[in-house]
C-alpha cells in the first residue's frame, strides 16, 4: 500500500518535567526551550513525511500545543494523564481511531528526516512493527495497521518488550529516526548527524555550536 495513509502520534510531556536526563546540557533557564526545539524539529519532519496525512501531538503543555499547531499538527490534551504508554494508546486508538494506520514516535528526534520515516512506514507490514533506537534496546517508532490496537510497551527495555509482544522489527539505514536524545552525549550525536533548524538554531544562539552540519530539516511553513 502506498500514499499518505498514516496518522502519526507524538506524546509530549509537560516541558517543565521533560528531558530530565538532559538537564545541564544547556543553562537551566533555557532547558524547556531546548526540549521544545526538539519537539518542533521532530514534528516538522513528520509533517513533511509524504506517507503521513495527519499528525497528533498528545500533550498537556500549552507552549508545546501552540508550537506544534503552528507547524501543522493537531494538539490534543493528555486525557489519561497516566504516562507515556497511556498517552500513546489514547492518541492512537481513541483519538485517531482503529480504522487508521497509526505510527507513534517520541518527540525527541531532532535529526529525523521525512524520507527515512517514509521508508520505515513503507516497510511496516500488517499487524504491528517497530524500529529500535540506535543502542538496540529502546524504541523510536511503533506502528499498528488498521484494526490493530497499538499495545505500546515504551520504557526501559522496550525493544525486547515490543518484540515479545509480536511486533515485527524494522531495520534500515535511518540514523535520524534511530537517534533519540536523552542525554548531552545524545545531543552531540544528533548535532553531528545534522539536527533540525530549531534545535540547531537554539544551540547556535547559546554559542554552543558554530555550525550544525549539513543535515536536518529547515524550519518554516509546511505543505
Ligand atoms: N503526553 C505524554 N508524553 C510523555 C509522557 N512521558 C514521556 N512523554 C513523551 O514521550 C517521549 C519519550 O519520552 P522520554 O524519552 O522518556 O522523554 P522524557 O520523559 O521527557 O525524558 P526524561 O525526563 O529524561 O525521562 C517524549 O516525547 C516525551 O515528551 C507523559 O506522561 N505524557
Ligand atoms: C521511552 C523509551 O526510552 P527513553 O526514555 O530512554 O527514550 C523507549 O525507548 O521505549
- Domains with residue ranges and CATH for the chain: 6-206 (3.90.550.10)
Encode pLDDT of 117-147 as tens digits: 999 999 998 999 999 999 999 999 999 999 9
User: What pLDDT does 218 receive?
Assistant: 45
Residue located nearest, by CA, to atom 7 of ligand 2: 182
Query: What residues flank ligand 2, with Cβ below 6 Å?
Result: 106, 133, 138-139, 154-155, 158, 180, 182
Q: What is the DSSP letter of 54?
A: E
- Report which secondary-structure segment, H or E, holds 184: helix 184-193
Quick one: cell of 111? Answer: 535529526
Ligand 1 pocket check for 141: Cβ under 6 Å: no
Quick one: cell of 26? Answer: 544547556
Range list of H helices, 62-157: 62-70, 84-89, 114-123
Mutate to test the pocket of ligand 2, among 38, 83, 155, 187 (most ligand atoms within 8 A of CB): 155
User: What pLDDT does 213 receive?
Assistant: 58
Counting as low any pLDDT under 70, the low residues of the chain are 1-2, 213-223
φ, ψ for residue 142, nearest 5 deg: -130, 130
User: What pLDDT does 220 receive?
Assistant: 37
State the closest ligand 2 atom to the C-alpha of 133, by its place in the atom list counted from 1: 9
Q: Sign of the CA dihedral 124, 189, 46, 212?
A: negative
Amino acid at each position: 500500500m502506498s500514499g499518505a495513509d498514516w496518522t502519526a502520534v507524538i506524546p509530549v510531556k509537560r516541558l517543565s518535567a521533560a528531558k530530565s536526563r538532559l538537564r545541564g546540557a544547556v543553562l537551566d533557564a533555557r532547558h524547556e526551550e531546548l526540549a521544545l526545539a526538539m519537539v518542533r524539529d521532530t514534528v516538522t519532519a513528520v509533517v513533511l513525511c509524504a506517507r503521513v496525512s495527519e499528525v497528533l501531538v498528545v500533550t498537556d503543555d500549552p507552549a508545546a500545543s501552540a508550537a506544534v499547531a503552528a507547524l501543522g499538527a493537531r494538539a490534543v490534551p493528555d486525557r489519561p494523564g497516566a504516562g507515556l504508554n497511556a498517552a500513546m494508546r489514547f492518541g492512537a486508538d481513541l483519538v485517531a481511531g482503529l480504522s487508521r494506520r497509526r505510527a507513534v514516535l517520541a518527540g525527541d528526534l531532532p535529526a529525523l528526516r521525512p524520507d527515512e520515516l517514509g521508508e520505515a512506514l513503507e516497510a511496516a507490514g500488517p499487524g504491528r512493527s517497530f524500529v529500535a533506537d540506535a543502542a538496540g534496546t529502546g524504541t523510536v517508532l511503533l506502528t499498528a495497521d488498521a484494526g490493530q490496537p497499538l499495545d505500546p510497551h515504551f520504557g526501559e527495555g522496550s525493544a525486547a518488550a515490543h518484540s515479545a509482544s509480536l511486533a515485527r522489527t524494522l531495520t534500515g539505514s535511518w540514523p535520524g529516526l534511530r537517534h533519540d536524545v536523552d542525554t548531552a552525549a545524545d545531543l552531540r550525536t544528533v548535532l553531528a548527524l545534522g539536527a533540525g533548524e530549531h534545535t540547531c538554531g537554539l544551540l547556535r544562539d547559546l554559542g554552543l555550536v558554530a555550525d550544525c552540519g549539513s543535515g536536518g530539516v529547515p524550519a518554516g511553513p509546511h505543505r
